[in-house]
Amino acid sequence: MSVDASRSAGGGPAPAAAPDVKTQAQGATIATGTEAKRLSIDDLLYLIRYNPDDRGHLRVINDDICREKCVKYGYACTRFCPAQVYKWEENHVSVSWEGCIECGACRIGCPFANIDWKYPRGGFGVSFKNG
């Protein structure tokens, strides 16, 4: 039995080759055809689409913990979030949940477990393509 390379095992046309995508620590390189373009983290975050909710799914549980204990850790939440959702402002942490990419880093990143993280309500949050 001969195998035709242009046909799949099921007899239909063979699937097109997927573009070569390599993830790197500071961004990604996407090869399309003969060109390769390096994307920064900011470029990749720009590609994410959101359906914002009017209710937040993230909150700081106790602001006093942030004020009293987080100084020692350099306000960790302002550093581990790739979308920069958390910002230290004068005497509290501001949470811009509208830009959350739902990675869950804040659930494990806060050394005091002081962030309440829930998935957004159905139909809200990150809109993933092809998934």
Query: For the chain, which residues make up each domain, given as ranges?
Result: 1-47, 53-127
Residue with tokens 């809109």: 127
Per-residue pLDDT reduced to its tens digit, 24-77: 344 555 555 556 677 787 777 777 777 777 888 899 999 999 888 888 878 888
Residue entry with tokens 């004068």:
90
Residue 123: pLDDT over 90? no
Amino acid at 34: T
| Average pLDDT value for residue range 90-116 | 88
Q: How far apart are CA 121 and CA 97, in angstroms?
A: 13
Q: Is the per-residue pLDDT at 116 higher than 80?
A: yes
CATH of 53-127, one of 1.10.150.530, 3.30.70.20, 3.40.50.740, 3.30.2130.10: 3.30.70.20
What distance in Å separates the CA atoms of residue 96 and residue 71, rounded to the nearest whole number?
20
Claim: this prediction has a pTM higher than 0.75:
no
Residue owning tokens 């390096």: 38
